[in-house]
Structure 1
Amino acid sequence: MTRGQWRNLWLQFHKWIGLLLAVAIIPISVTGAALVWHDGLERWLHPDRYAVTGTAKLPVTAYADAAAARLAPGERIARIALPTESGEPVEVSAARPGGGKGRPVRTLVYLDPADARVIEVSASDRGAIRFMHVLHGSLFIPEVGRQVVGWVGVAMLVSALTGIWLWWPTVGGFVRALRWKRHPKNTDYNLHNLLGFWIAVPLAVLSLTGVWISFPSVFSSFDAKPAQAQSRPKGPDRAALMRAKPLPAPATPLTAAIDAAGSVAPGTITSVQWPTDIQPEWTMQMSPPSGRPATVKVADATGQAAIDAASGPGAGQPQPTTARLMRQIHDGSGMPFWWQVILFLGGVLPAILAVTGIIMWARARKWRKQLAQRQRARLAPAE
């Protein structure tokens, strides 16, 4: 194929990907941009939830008792997250009885860390933040939504790469191609051309990491596991763990579990996860006076505590994996501010590109129709 034929082929790929998937690309991109600022957005949308009067100074049991008093019959505490920064509430997550397919709904109780006063009680499937998470991750499509979003990510990756090919000037130099008015009249064309170039590489990275998250089993071979980890029996899958039910009466009380965790990893507790019917063990996140946080498991049957075997040596932190790195790159958690800004632009600009692409296609379609009418008029026999 000639260069012109290749260019036309990539143009068709690029055009029809944008046109056919715009209805999915726009909401995925916009919600992804908003979720980069998840914490700040939640504070803005729910200011009452952060109306605390002081810092955490009560024992974990006090927060557990206060939350339990507001739960409905059959609901059981699954996790308590203590604030790590000033101005944050204590968040208690409780499992509801029953449950069907999909992500289980939790009852969330927000407490004032200073006195365990209940600030707010809500459901985990309510609110704008939750709406954006579900829309971004599955487009509200049951069962296969995550895979659908993954294939949209594949299409966006192809679109980003073909966009670079199409942007590259066929006449003139590289620097000249960066000018604003590559088209003398159409602002949408110039906007699509310039924004598309600057966002193409970040968009390709975002698309690739999104595909990685959507199809974890496809890329699992990239995470080499140590021999001892390979020899251990495979645990329950993520879906089963999400639906696990907290034990109604753990054999090891909460206070005893906290004491046991502190004996192997001294420090301040930042979260407590209750033992369940699938994993009958307490899970404590400990923040030491110095060094990295530690994850401690306390067996409910025996009360024996140990730093999580899947953690890094002596630190209690999970071993770094490619999958975890891909998620960090994709959502910006723990990443520098400049990368979070790029992620935000990587969400906003594709939506703009989708709109300008539709405008360009509609104008070209109208122009071809008018051209065909003029040609028919010239060829028509004179009366």
Structure 2
Amino acid sequence: MQGPATPLGQPRMTPDDALRAAVEKGPAGYVAATITLPTQQAPAWRVVLTGDGVNATVNVDDATGAVRLPPAPAQPSSGDLIARWMRWLHVGTNTGLVWQAVIFVGGLLPALFAVTGIMMWLRRRKTEQAMAARRARNQARGALPQPNAGAGAE
């Protein structure tokens, strides 16, 4: 198992330079979505550009500033398609305000359910403790409620 990547001590390029080079040499009309700093294992800036609902990864060599576009697979694998769809759902890129609101509320619901669940549990616990205390008091007094044996019989 590999450990975390070791950051490059002092990169030669600035993040702005790497972004500028990637956007200029990358696919036309694409904008930067993410940037990954160079490491000792891979001394290149990795910039993910997005446009038309598709991502393109551009590598910018830190030493030379050369831009490399990795070859695109002829047919994206099903895993790539699922990952793209999950990213689209998570980020909400190119979606309307309604969809973004739905995703926002969906993110808050687990926390809301946790809080209300704990509140219900505490309320039930308090009620059960009160009922147990009442039963103990009644039992100590010897005043257990008796069923109405003669109810309805006259």
Q: TM-score under structure 1 normalisation?
A: 0.27
Structure 1 residues 272 and 369, CA gap change in structure 2 (3 angstroms)? closer
Q: Aligned residue for 1:177?
A: none
Aligned residue runs from structure 1 range 158-169, under 5 A? none
Q: Aligned residue for 1:370?
A: 134
Over the residues paired in the alignment, what is the CA RMSD in angstroms?
Answer: 4.2
| Larger-Rg structure | 2
Q: Aligned residue for 1:279?
A: 42
Deviation, structure 1 residue 371 = 0.6
* Contact 1:265 1:296 (8 Å CA) reproduced: no
Structure 1 residues 341 and 371, CA gap change in structure 2 (3 angstroms)? same
Deviation, structure 1 residue 345 = 3.1
Q: Aligned residue for 2:125?
A: 361
Q: Aligned residue for 2:59?
A: 297
In structure 2, give the amino acid aligned to 1:284. V
Deviation, structure 1 residue 347 = 2.1
Deviation, structure 1 residue 265 = 2.7
Aligned residue runs from structure 1 range 1-383, under 5 A? 236-237=2-3, 240-241=4-5, 244-250=6-12, 255=17, 258-259=20-21, 262-270=24-32, 271-288=34-51, 290=52, 292-300=54-62, 303-307=66-70, 319-321=80-82, 325=86, 333-334=91-92, 336=99, 337-378=101-142
Deviation, structure 1 residue 341 = 2.4
Unaligned runs of 5+ in 2: 144-154
In structure 1, give the amino acid aligned to 2:60. V
Structure 1 residues 269 and 341, CA gap change in structure 2 (3 angstroms)? closer
Deviation, structure 1 residue 280 = 0.8
Instruction: Report how many aligned residue pairs link the two structures.
Output: 131
* Contact 2:21 2:60 (8 Å CA) reproduced: no
* Contact 1:261 1:297 (8 Å CA) reproduced: no
Structure 1 residues 319 and 351, CA gap change in structure 2 (3 angstroms)? same
How far apart, CA to CA, are the structure 2 residues paired with 1:360 and 1:348? 18
Q: TM-score under structure 2 normalisation?
A: 0.57
* Contact 2:36 2:47 (8 Å CA) reproduced: yes
How far apart, CA to CA, are the structure 1 residues paired with 2:22 and 2:88? 32
Structure 1 residues 364 and 300, CA gap change in structure 2 (3 angstroms)? same
Deviation, structure 1 residue 256 = 7.8
Structure 1 residues 295 and 373, CA gap change in structure 2 (3 angstroms)? same
Deviation, structure 1 residue 268 = 4.5
| Partner secondary structure for residue 54 of structure 2 | coil
Structure 1 residues 361 and 259, CA gap change in structure 2 (3 angstroms)? closer
Q: Which has the higher contact order (CA 8 A, sep 6+)?
A: 1
Post-superposition CA distance 1:199-236 (Å, at most 9, x none): xxxxxxxxxxxxxxxxxxxxxxxxxxxxxxxxxxx8x4
Structure 1 residues 279 and 319, CA gap change in structure 2 (3 angstroms)? same
| Partner secondary structure for residue 80 of structure 2 | coil
Unaligned runs of 5+ in 1: 1-233
* Contact 1:250 1:275 (8 Å CA) reproduced: no
In structure 1, give the amino acid aligned to 2:141. A
* Contact 2:49 2:56 (8 Å CA) reproduced: yes
In structure 2, give the amino acid aligned to 1:355. M
In structure 2, give the amino acid aligned to 1:344. L
In structure 1, give the amino acid aligned to 2:46. T
More helix by share: 1
Deviation, structure 1 residue 261 = 6.3
Post-superposition CA distance 1:328-373 (Å, at most 9, x none): 87xx543833343244233213302211211111111111121122
Deviation, structure 1 residue 292 = 2.1
How far apart, CA to CA, are the structure 2 residues paired with 1:345 and 1:371? 39
Structure 1 residues 351 and 294, CA gap change in structure 2 (3 angstroms)? same
